[in-house]
Chain A
Amino acid sequence: MFPLSLFVPFLLPFSYLCLELPFWVSFCGISFIIWRLVGDFFKFAQPSKKVTGGLSTIGLVMVIVGFETLVGRDAAGSFLFLLAGLKILEYRAQEESPFLILLGLFLCCTVFLFSLNLFWSLGLGASILALAYQLIPLNVRKNTPTTAVNIFTKTVVTALPLTFLLFFFFPRFTNHFRNFAGSGLSKIAQSGSSDRLDPGAFSEVRENKKLVFQAEFLLGKKNTRDLYWRGDVFTTPTGFSWKKADVSKNSQIPLTESAPAHHSTPDYRILLVPQESLEFASSLGNQENLQKENQARIFTLDETDTVHSHFSQIIMQPDRTFRVSPAPDKTLEYFGTIEYKTPTEKSAEEYLTLPPKFPDRVKSLVASWNLKELSPEQKLEKILYFFQNEKFHYSLRPGHGGQMNLEKFLFEIREGFCEHYASSLALLLRATQVPARVVGGYQGGTFNEYGKFWMIREKDAHAWVEYINSKGRWTRADATNIVAPLRLEIGAEEYFALPAELQILKDLSDSINSFRQKKSFFLIFRFWLEGLNYRWTSWLLNFDLAKQKEILKDLQGKLPVSLLVTFAFLVLLSLAVHIHQLRIQKNESLEDKYLNQILSWKEFEGIGLHRSLGPREMLDLVTTRPLLKHQEVLSQSLSQFFETYMQIAYGSQFELRPLLKSQFKTLRKLHRKL
């Protein structure tokens, strides 16, 4: 029967890896475990080691074929997962536990490669401790559990100081080992970007609370209204939809860490979740382009000049969107610095292109506005006034994009989500000869007061427009600000939580504020947990060689103090040990105290008296040693002492203690004469 105490610590790493590894790996691993459990329950014979050995060979081949490598988190993790399942299946005797325990420890480490989440870390920490506990022999754990727990606790507690010492001071050398994993990584870490924007796509993710990234401002706080996170830029209209321009690799600008002075104080920091799991990304169409390049999109604020990351290369596109290479398969940390620079586009012609079959009705509308002599800002104002005046609505259910076109939207339906307004605004601006483009990304977010960071979720997905203003600068324009300004003011999560009658309001009112202040305990608790997890993840990601050097530098300055503290600690420790020893000695019985004193007298060492001897042996020794035959008084006194000692210690004749005391005094006198 497979021991439950050994099985339970495996549950957590198994359950996590099931969700992260390919389906066939999870299926096989779980099947092996179920096979074992069913076999134990119905007392079937388990497969022999030859069978499990054959299965593990097949598993190895399948992993190598499937991942094209055995090196790398996913390939190695899959193989370990299968191996652990097979090992559980073939487990026969207690002697096989240690190898299984080592496998379990490795599995737990594999989970850490996927996630740094605080709560998973705590759970896996408990699993690791439970596995290490299983190394204690079964007879000790079963027969004397108290002893087993004591020794385990003592070992863990004693090991912790060295652990922390190594953790803080063992040098962290960065290594691009992952790059050697080859194509195995690129297959799994999909970039999650797209070359197309279809109106209606964003609204499909409005219910999704999945976290996209977390942002922390290092210099001052920002308002929700000002947070526009740029992801993709769409420049080519196809009807009501938009496509991205083809960007050749040659036009990309790799940013290096040496790009610099800007890096000294970045404006914000972002922790980005791997984009494979993002619905927003996957809902927007094919992802072939970026997959081929093994790049992933990252999100930056307006007018971000520089982005840098410690472990990945950041690439800037001509449209000032950024990519990271290689595409991350775990949380990515990067920093952004805001400083506007002049656009790099040589020509604005591509931003004036209208779709084929541009509706005549729309052309007539634009012509009726007489905007030829106006500046781009004035033209924008006119268009926005049109949206406001014609009572356009912000709708969470605007209908399928295929049924909607520009003409219908502007003249009939007149309600839509952010992408409808962005698309129509950009087309109208182009129709008035203002270069414009649509930007997809996220707007706003939820501020976590406990961690002081912003959480941007899928439901914060947003689209807006950028146009070239009269100064030749790309400037943001958001029609949502006219039709649903509250959405930009308070963020998507709070906005969509409002009742419908409050959503149509244009500004914050008392009724909205009082609604917003009603935060459930669950929400507060969730924020607190998220804040804790954020701090934990940030610290883990941030702790590197630079941080270690910083700590050492600090310590150098505080060396005398730290030495003093260390010295004081050692003194206190030795004092505590000494007091403890004294306490032990206090528990020593009177007869043992006398005996120990006698044995400490150097003169008696020559006789051969030693602590390792029993009192009977000592008695025999003193009565037979030739040396003592010439010192009969001494011999007699020692014999009497030992006999009395044995009567007290083994015969419990405690009433003889006064006699022992007097015998001891006699011996002491004789000893002084020696």
Chain B
Amino acid sequence: MTLFKNTPRTYILPTKIGLFYGVALMLMLMVGFGYSNNLVFFVCFFLTSFGTVAMVFTNQNLQKLDLQNFGARPFFADERGEFFLSVLPRSNHDLINITVKYETFQKLIEKIPAKIESTINLPIMSSERGLHKLPTIRVESTYPFQLCRSWKTIYPLQEYLVYPSRLGSPHFPGQVDGTNKNKLTSKNKSDEDFGGVKIYEKSDSPRRIDWKSTARTREMQVKMFDSKEGQTLIFTWEQTQELASFEARISQLALWIDLAEKSRSVYQLILPGFKSELSQGLNHWQSCLRSLALLDSAHVST
């Protein structure tokens, strides 16, 4: 499945070192002529041939790299997301020192095994929700002798989705101590079974940070607890009317949806022009967040 504008061609040009190398060879040739020195000629010719062969190998290192797929899983605004680039080397040997670049970021992949489809993950962040076009990606290599740089440029056709940032009050709408049906069930530990740890997300409670495993893995980790049962929650656009800005309201709803899913509650989202089912689960969660991500202010009457 071709997901790019054009089949990427491989281009090649000398690097800065390659240019100096070329100049040095010209000087050597002149010296050889000037002094009629056959050894200088031999070295010059050898280095010329060496550079030529190196150029071929640099081209080959990228030429046989097929770019299979490029996309990004949806992620929340102001949080770290990831692109994935699937590649498949058609060559019989591993590809070495491939650099993937886009915008200001670059990543060096030291080895891509031959004939095995590999996925390269690239970080991304966005402060705006909604659909965004995937950036132009450049895959390049200077291996083996850094005299030339070969590259392929990918102009992807797809877009990626950024959910609204998870900001706002962690308390569900209408939540008061003990009485409201929207109130979360008790968080007594006896009601919850420890379900392991996971990487911290913005909506997680700081009280659940597992410092021991964080120190061990050097990545913020939170404890997960499997609640025996959640609640039934309904989130509406009107519930956020106290919030000043449009984006703040969307972010609040996003946070609630996320927390509801984490607490294994059954929830429903009602927006102008959208009404989800009363459900739970990944698909439902994604559907709600997607609708929030794509919510246009023009469709919403204040």
Contact = CB atoms under 8 A, between A and B. Distances in A.
Interface of A: 73, 98-99, 102, 105-106, 108-109, 112-113, 116, 121, 128, 132, 135-137, 139-140, 143-144, 147-148, 151-152, 154-156, 158-163, 166-167, 170, 172-175, 177-178, 311, 540-541, 543-544, 584, 608, 611-614, 617, 621
Contact of A173 (B28, B33, B96, B111): B33
B57 to A, nearest CB: 7
Given A112-B39, A162-B49, A106 B145 contact: no
B52 A159 contact: yes
Contacts of A116: 37-39
Interface stretch (B16-24, B70-78, B173-181, B202-210): B16-24
A167 B29 CA distance: 12
Given A155-B57, A159-B50, A163-B42, A135 B146 contact: yes
B147 interface: yes
B28 A106 contact: yes
Contacts of B144: 135-137, 140, 148, 151-152, 155
Contacts of B36: 172, 174-175, 311, 544
B270 interface: no
B195 interface: no
Contacts of B34: 175, 177-178
Contacts of B28: 106, 109
Contacts of A139: 97, 110
Nearest to B144: A151
B199 interface: no
B128 interface: no
A100 to B, nearest CB: 11
Given A109-B39, A143-B110, 7 more contacts: A109-B40, A113-B37, A128-B46, A128-B47, A140-B143, A144-B96, A541-B38
A143 B94 CA distance: 14
Interface residues of B, number: 48
A238 to B, nearest CB: 42
Given A155-B145, A544-B36, A147 B24 contact: no
B276 interface: no
Nearest to A136: B144
A137 B97 contact: yes
B217 interface: no
B265 to A, nearest CB: 34
30 contacts: A98-B146, A99-B17, A102-B20, A105-B24, A113-B31, A113-B37, A113-B40, A128-B43, A132-B145, A135-B144, A135-B145, A135-B147, A136-B145, A139-B97, A140-B96, A144-B111, A152-B144, A158-B53, A159-B46, A159-B49, A160-B46, A160-B49, A162-B45, A170-B41, A174-B36, A311-B36, A543-B38, A612-B90, A613-B68, A617-B1
A628 B284 CA distance: 33
Contacts of B53: 155, 158-159, 162
Most central of A544, A611, A613 by chain B CB within 10 Å: A613
B219 to A, nearest CB: 25
